[in-house]
C-alpha cells in the first residue's frame, strides 16, 4: 500500500515513495524554543506523527529529521532580558517540548538537529551561495540572499512575485505575508548579542538557512518529503527552496506537506493573539493527554480544526468507549465459534481504515469504521452472539488502529502527575481543577485501601458504609467499577 499524499508543490495528491527504494527521508520544521509550545504547534507535530506511524504500519522505513531552533531574535531578546546565556534560557523549553511530545505519544524523529550545533554547516552553505553570486554582504556584516537570482521563487506558495523589487531587504526571521524581499542568511551581532566567529564574519544564522543546512546534512541534497504548519509555506519554505536549490542545482524536497491550523473561534491559535492553550494548561484543567491527542488528530491534517472544550469532552468519551470495549474483549469468555457478520465487519473495518489513511491521511474517515465495529461487536456480545474467533478477528483491527492513533493503552496518569508537579514548581497550583487536585491528593495505595475497606463493608453487608466510601471516592475524582473480576478504580 502506497500512501497518496497531497503535495503542495504540485497541487496534486501523489504517491509518497522513498526515492532510494529503502527509507523515506523526511524533514519536519521543529519548534523555536523560546517558550512552551501551544496545542496548535502540537497539532502539527501530531499530524506528522500520524504520517510516520502510517508509513511504518504499511511497511515503509522512515528517516525523519526535525530541527530545534535554539537561536533566533526572540530567544536572544528573552535570554538577554533574563541575563542568562541562550543555552541556559532554551534548556527548560527544550526539555518541556520533549516531555510534551511524550505525553502526547508523538514518536521521536530518528534525528533531532539543534541549530546551534550546526553553525559551520550553515556558514559553508552561505559561502556556496556567495560563490554562486546569490548571497551578498552588507556594510554591517550581515549576509542576504538575492531573490532575483532564483527565478522560480514562489513556486511552492504560488505567489506572483513579478513586482518584486531587487535589493529590498528584510532581516527579521518572520515577515509580512505578501512581501518578498532579499532575506537574511546571516545576521551581524548588535552589541552584547550572542554570536559566532566564522569565516564569513561574526554573527548568527538566519532561521531559513538553518533548516536548509540541517536537512541536507542528514538527508542529502535531495530528499523525499518536507513538512510543517501551513504558515511556514511562505516565506520560510519558499526561502529554504531558493537557498538549497541555488546551492545544489538540484530539487530540494520532492514532496511538501502542510498541516492546516488549529483555530480558536475562527482565528489561528497563536502566541501573539493570546488565544492559546498549552498542553499543560489542559492537563491541569483535568483533560487527559490521550483525549487531547485524539481531539487534535481526528480532523485530517488538510482541514483546519476549531478547538473547543466540547471536542475534548467528546474525545474523552470516545476513548472511554474504546478502552471499555478492549477490556471486554480481553477479559470476556467467548464460546468457540464465529459470527459471520462480525467476521465481515472486522474485515471491512480494517480495509476502510487503511484506505482512508492511504487517501491523504483522512483520520476522520479512518476512525469511523473502528467505532462502527466496536458498536457492532458490543451488540453481538450483549446478545451472546460473539465468539472466540470473533475476538481473534477484531483484535488485529484494534491493533492497527492503535499503531496509528495510539490512545487505547491508558498511560494518562503519568503526564497528569508530571503536569501537577510542574504546576507546583511554577507556583501555578491555582490553575489546577479542584477535582483533579483531590484525585491526585490520594496515592494509589490510599485508594486501594479505601477500595478494600468498601469490599469488607459489602461482605459484612454494611451497604451504607460501602456506599459512603464509594461517594467519598467519587468526590475525590476516583471512579469505582464493579465487575465480575472484582473492583476496578480509576481517576476521572
Ligand atoms: P514555531 O515553534 O512557532 O516555529 O511552530 C512550530 C510548528 O507549529 C510550525 O510547524 C508551525 O507552522 C506550527 N503552528 C504554529 N501555530 C499553529 C496552529 N495554530 N495550528 C497548527 N500548527 C501551528
Ligand atoms: Zn524549517
Q: Tell me the per-residue pLDDT of 224-253, one tens digit each, with 9 for 90 and over.
A: 999 999 999 999 999 999 999 999 999 999
177 pLDDT more than 50: no
Whole-number Å distance, alpha carbon 459 to ligand 2 midpoint, is: 63
Provide the pairing of β-strand 262-264 with 305-306: parallel
136 pLDDT more than 80: yes
| Nearest ligand (C-alpha, residue 232) | 1
Q: What tens digit of pLDDT does each residue of 379-401 get? A: 999 999 999 999 999 999 999 99
pLDDT of residue 176: 47
Ligand 1 interacting residues, C-beta cut-off 6 A: 29, 31-32, 40-41, 43-44, 228-229, 231-232, 259, 261-262, 268-270
Whole-number Å distance, alpha carbon 69 to ligand 2 midpoint, is: 9
Q: Which atom of ligand 1 is nearest to the CA of 30?
A: 6
User: Span 462-477, mean pLDDT?
Assistant: 90
Q: pLDDT higher for 435 or 285?
A: 285
21 pLDDT more than 60: yes
174 pLDDT more than 80: no
Q: Which atom of ligand 1 is nearest to the CA of 29?
A: 10
Residue nearest atom 11 of ligand 1, based on CA coordinates:
229
pLDDT of residue 98: 98
| Nearest ligand (C-alpha, residue 41) | 1
User: Span 423-432, mean pLDDT?
Assistant: 92
Q: What is the pTM of this model?
A: 0.92
- How far CA 38 is from CA of 262, 270, 422, 463, in Å, comes to 10, 8, 16, 47
User: Span 348-377, mean pLDDT?
Assistant: 98
Whole-number Å distance, alpha carbon 233 to ligand 2 midpoint, is: 10
DSSP 38: B
Residue nearest atom 17 of ligand 1, based on CA coordinates:
40
Average pLDDT value over all residues in the chain: 94
170 pLDDT more than 80: no
User: Span 358-374, mean pLDDT?
Assistant: 98
What's the pLDDT band for 184 if we cut at 50, 70, 90? very high
Residue nearest atom 18 of ligand 1, based on CA coordinates:
40
Separation of CA 137 from chain center = 38
Whole-number Å distance, alpha carbon 208 to ligand 2 midpoint, is: 6
Whole-number Å distance, alpha carbon 480 to ligand 1 midpoint, is: 40
DSSP 36: P
Asked which of 115-119, 274-278, 425-429, 476-480 is least confident by mean pLDDT, the reply is 476-480
Pocket test for ligand 1, best of 41, 104, 172 (most atoms within 8 A of CB): 41
Q: Which atom of ligand 1 is nearest to the CA of 228?
A: 10
492 pLDDT more than 80: no
**CA neighbours within 13 Å on the CB side: how many for 89?**
22
- All three cell numbers of 330: 480481553
Amino acid at each position: 500500500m502506497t500512501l497518496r499524499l497531497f503535495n503542495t508543490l504540485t497541487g496534486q495528491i501523489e504517491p509518497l515513495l522513498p526515492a532510494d527504494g529503502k527509507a523515506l527521508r523526511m524533514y519536519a520544521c521543529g519548534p523555536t524554543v523560546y517558550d512552551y509550545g501551544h496545542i496548535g504547534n502540537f497539532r502539527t507535530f501530531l499530524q506528522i506523527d500520524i504520517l510516520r506511524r502510517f508509513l511504518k504500519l504499511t511497511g515503509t522505513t522512515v528517516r525523519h529529521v526535525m530541527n530545534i531552533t535554539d537561536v533566533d531574535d526572540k530567544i536572544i531578546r528573552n535570554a538577554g532580558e533574563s541575563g542568562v546565556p541562550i543555552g541556559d534560557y532554551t534548556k527548560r523549553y527544550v526539555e518541556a517540548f520533549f516531555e510534551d511530545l511524550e505525553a502526547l505519544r508523538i514518536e521521536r524523529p530518528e534525528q533531532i538537529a539543534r541549530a546551534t550545533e550546526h553553525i559551520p554547516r550553515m556558514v559553508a552553505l552561505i559561502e556556496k551561495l556567495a560563490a554562486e553570486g546569490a548571497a551578498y554582504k552588507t556594510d554591517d556584516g550581515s549576509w542576504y540572499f538575492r531573490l532575483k537570482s532564483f527565478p522560480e521563487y514562489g513556486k511552492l506558495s504560488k505567489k506572483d512575485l513579478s513586482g518584486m523589487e531587487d535589493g529590498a531587504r528584510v532581516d527579521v526571521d518572520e515577515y509580512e505575508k505578501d512581501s518578498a524581499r532579499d532575506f537574511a542568511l546571516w545576521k551581524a551581532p548588535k552589541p552584547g548579542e550572542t554570536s559566532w566567529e566564522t569565516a564569513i564574519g561574526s554573527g548568527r544564522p538566519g532561521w531559513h538557512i538553518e533548516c536548509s543546512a540541517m536537512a541536507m546534512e542528514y538527508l542529502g541534497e535531495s530528499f523525499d518529503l518536507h513538512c510543517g504548519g501551513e504558515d511556514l509555506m511562505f516565506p520560510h519554505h519558499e526561502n529554504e527552496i531558493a537557498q538549497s536549490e541555488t546551492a545544489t542545482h538540484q530539487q530540494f524536497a520532492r514532496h511538501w506537506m502542510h498541516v492546516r491550523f488549529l483555530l480558536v473561534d475562527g482565528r489561528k491559535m497563536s502566541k501573539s493573539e493570546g488565544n492559546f492553550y498549552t498542553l499543560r494548561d489542559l492537563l491541569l484543567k483535568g483533560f487527559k493527554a490521550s483525549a487531547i491527542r485524539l481531539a487534535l488528530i481526528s480532523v485530517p491534517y488538510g482541514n483546519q480544526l476549531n478547538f473547543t472544550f466540547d471536542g475534548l469532552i467528546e474525545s474523552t468519551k470516545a476513548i472511554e468507549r474504546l478502552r471499555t470495549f478492549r477490556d471486554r474483549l480481553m477479559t470476556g469468555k467467548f464460546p468457540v465459534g464465529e459470527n459471520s457478520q462480525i467476521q465481515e465487519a472486522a474485515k471491512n473495518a480494517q480495509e476502510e481504515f487503511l484506505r482512508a489513511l492511504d487517501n491523504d491521511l483522512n483520520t476522520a474517515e479512518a476512525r469511523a469504521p473502528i467505532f462502527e465495529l466496536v458498536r457492532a461487536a458490543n451488540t453481538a456480545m450483549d446478545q451472546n452472539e460473539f465468539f472466540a474467533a470473533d475476538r481473534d478477528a477484531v483484535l488485529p483491527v484494534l491493533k492497527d488502529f492503535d499503531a496509528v492513533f495510539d490512545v487505547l493503552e491508558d498511560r494518562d496518569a503519568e503526564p497528569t502527575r508530571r503536569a501537577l508537579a510542574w504546576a507546583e514548581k511554577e507556583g501555578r497550583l491555582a490553575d489546577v481543577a479542584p477535582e483533579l487536585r483531590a484525585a491526585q491528593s490520594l496515592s494509589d495505595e490510599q485508594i486501594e485501601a479505601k477500595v478494600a475497606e468498601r469490599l469488607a463493608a459489602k461482605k459484612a453487608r454494611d451497604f451504607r458504609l460501602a456506599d459512603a466510601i464509594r461517594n467519598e471516592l467519587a468526590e475525590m475524582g476516583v471512579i469505582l467499577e464493579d465487575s465480575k473480576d472484582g473492583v476496578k478504580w480509576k481517576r476521572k
